[in-house]
Structure 1
Amino acid sequence: MRGAAVVMNPYADLPAERFWRKVVAGVPPFALAPGPSGAFSIAPGARVATAGSCFAQHVSRALTEAGFGRYLAEAAPEGLSAEDAEARQYGVYSARYGNVYTARQLLQLFDRAYGTYQPELVAWTRPDGRRVDPFRPAVEPAGYADDATLLAARAEHLAAVRRMFEELDVFVFTLGLTEGWEHRADGAVLPVAPGVIADGFDPARYAFVNARAGAVRDDMLAFLARLFAVNARARVILTVSPVPLIASYADRHVLVSNAYSKAALRVAAEEIVEAEPRAVYFPAYEIVTSTANAGRYYADDLRSVTPEGVAHVMRVFLAAFTDAPPLTRVPHPLGLEYARAATVVCDEEAIERSLV
């Protein structure tokens, strides 16, 4: 019609990163770089705290390898040998909370640290009579002699968690699972099922839960509101772990359960960063699981991420969030020292060990 405006193809002026052919199929797998645009910058010397599922440990180590110091709010006591410190999980994360697999577990960690939530569950008992902290069951290999010792250690730990939240500059959290277990009496979330590391499973006391995407979103947004209330300058980087479930309690094939879990976490992460501009999503999950890599970033167990996969993730991470010159970015592959230390501590792996 004469005089009508010409409508251009709405895709005509989009940048190359919006087209699969140009930036996925059209580049070598190692060059895949879907880092977030417009991300904030992590300054040298920034206090970068980490938490989450097992994959978060790779992020911590790779940051250290690249010359960015990790923030430790709970360091090993003086005189403790390096071997004992490692066994007791000092330095695995910024505080000694062990794996934090779910958003609700993270939210409750914050509330326990600030005294607004005190679970009824105090301790689990091992077959040898030693006591175990059910909220971080693997941090003391020898267990505790009694409840008083356990509670004193817990109070010291939660003080360090408060310090971490108040002093950190950047918080990197890896969402790992939707499946989990809770204490029926008050909904206290547990990192592993009772009976796997200590105590025994009683279905009258413990319930299996599998969070929906909306619940993950709401729990994470509630946590962020609490974090920013005590630390207004904090910035948050969210990731989704590419490590598959080691086991599923849901009544279906573990492959199907894993697909649901990762999809729900990814949807939740998207909605979280849309609602909270101080949080950014980083696509570690997409880099490792991309069809462009044809599974080559997984070890023979099809679950463990290889050092080469971690190196790729961290190259993209550092390019997105730091101004580090290229030579200080994580090489490909990671150095020999990292490869030697690339094992991670996963509470959930105790599931398989308990069946032997």
Structure 2
Amino acid sequence: MTPGIHRPIMRPSARKKQMPLLSLPYTEAEARLRGNREHGRWWFADHLAPELRALGASERLKEPVFAPLIKPSFSFTGRETLFTIGSCFAREIEEAMNADGIDVSSHPEIFNQWEPKVPAAVSGTDERIYRMGVVNKYTIRTMVEELRWAAQAAPVEDHPAIQEIASGRFVDLAAHNILAGEDKASVQRRRQEINRLMRGAYTSDLIVVTLGLAEGWRDTETGISLVDSPISFKSENTGRYVLDVLSYADHINGLREIAALLNAHGKPGWRMLLTVSPVPFLASYTGDDVIIANSYSKAVLRAAAEEFARENERVDYFPSFEMANYSDPALVWESDRRHVTRPFVGEIISAFKQAYLKS
């Protein structure tokens, strides 16, 4: 402690009382365990019957595809409109749902008309998914800011996200700048389409929020959270950007703001499916081991998702993250151990449809 500085000790009575996520009386807790015979235990003792031991998670995890217990609180007929916001994994969900004839208001097909700056193969991503990644949102702050602008119908002509980063070179701080055209008019045209797509959040029945990462950049001049890193778009003034590693409070408060925006501007009766993307960091700027940094990122996202879903009756958590991480890696991951294979995305979508899609 710095000499001369005395930090007060917080008395127990002064601390904010922390409430558990769930509090069950003994009889109900015991009844829930007994009633959850097929999914409630990690392991059954070896002396028990084989058919009982097979119900333990230790045995279920030996299956190539992990099939989690999903307890939907609502259903989706496929005739309603779906909106998705989040990381690149959200694009995979949109593609799969769109192929099934579901009305996906956020589907960014429009961006396939622009040429990318570099070939999609450089990123190891499918060509269509790559171009549509213009609308990717990796952190909770980027999602909240985008939905705020959509609610305000922010005009493209003076949109705060469009910034000149060098003489005659413009970027959209709130978009993935992967397409050719760095003149102001090109960036504005793309922003106009982003604005149109994001307004779909307020006209859709089911909102799918895919939380991606807990580490991102912020522009100190505008306060906007970046989708790209400043390194990627080669700004002349790198001093205006700072790296933020977001906390649990950042995430739970961000999710609550999204719900407030939907309550104020969305369709009556909107529902949300909240997921955590299994896709890890490409790189961490903290100086930590990227695997350790990614572990924190996914843990804090998962914790915030759990609390938010438990406190909001309109929201379900969907375990795509767990499906990917507890299934056979050879089935789940491309060779980069980062992108999820198209067949396994199909497994996740199949689990969603089986649980939520009703005819």
Q: TM-score, normalised by structure 2?
A: 0.74
Q: 1:101 aligns with which of 138, 161, 165?
A: 138
User: For residue 241 of structure 2, what is the aligned residue in structure 1?
Assistant: 206
Aligned to 1:112: 149
Percent identical pairs in the alignment equals: 26
Q: 1:136 aligns with which of 172, 175, 180?
A: 175
Once residues 164 and 347 of structure 2 are traced to their aligned partners in structure 1, the CA distance between those partners, rounded to angstroms, is: 40
Bigger relative contact order, structure 1 or 2, given CA contacts below 8 A and separation 6+?
1
Q: Unpaired segments of 5 or more residues in structure 1? A: 1-6, 77-81, 325-356
* Aligned match of 1:309: 344
Distance in 2 separating the partners of 1:224 and 1:43: 22
Q: Aligned AA for 1:195?
A: I
Note if 1:289 corresponds to 2:325: yes
- The structural deviation recorded for 1:154 is 3.1
The partner residue of 1:84 within 113, 117, 120 is: 113
Structure 2 counterpart of 1:219, from 231, 245, 254 = 254
Match of 1:51, SS state, is strand
- Structure 1 distance, partners of 2:105, 2:152, is 23
Q: Does 1:173 align with 2:206?
A: no
CA RMSD of aligned residues (A): 3.2
**Paired position in structure 1 for 2:42:** 20
Question: 1:328 maps to which residue?
Answer: none
SS of the equivalent of 2:78 reads: coil
Q: How many residues align?
A: 306
Once the two structures are superposed, the pairs formed by residues 178-189 of structure 1 within 5 Å of their partners are 178-189=214-225
Mean Cα deviation higher: 278-287 or 39-48: 39-48
Aligned counterparts of 2:36 and 2:333: Cα–Cα separation in 1: 33
Amino acid at match of 2:174: F
The question of whether the paired residues in 1 share the 8 Å contact of 2:216 and 2:244 is answered with yes
Note the alpha carbon deviations across 1:82-117, whole angstroms, 9 max, x for none.
95258599x969x98611111111111112223398
Output the CA distance in 1 between the equivalents of 2:28 and 2:319: 31
Which of the pair is proportionally richer in helix?
2
* Contact 1:30–1:312 (8 Å) recurs in 2: no
Q: Confirm whether residue 242 of structure 1 aligns to residue 278 of structure 2.
A: yes
Contact 1:135 1:190 in 2 (8 A): yes
Measured in 2, the distance between the counterparts of 1:167 and 1:60 equals 16
Q: Does structure 2 conserve the Cα–Cα contact (< 8 Å) formed by 1:126 and 1:132?
A: no
Q: Does 1:123 align with 2:159?
A: no
**Aligned residue among 43, 60, 71 for 2:105:** 71
* 1:155-170 → structure 2 map (5 Å cutoff): 155=192, 157-162=194-199, 164-170=200-206
Runs of 5+ consecutive residues of structure 2 not aligned to the other structure: 1-26, 44-54, 121-127
Contact 1:174 1:239 in 2 (8 A): yes
- Please, what TM-score do these two structures have when normalized by structure 1? 0.75
The question of whether the paired residues in 1 share the 8 Å contact of 2:65 and 2:323 is answered with no
Check 1:13–1:280 CA distance in 2 against 1; reply closer, same or farther (3 A cut): closer
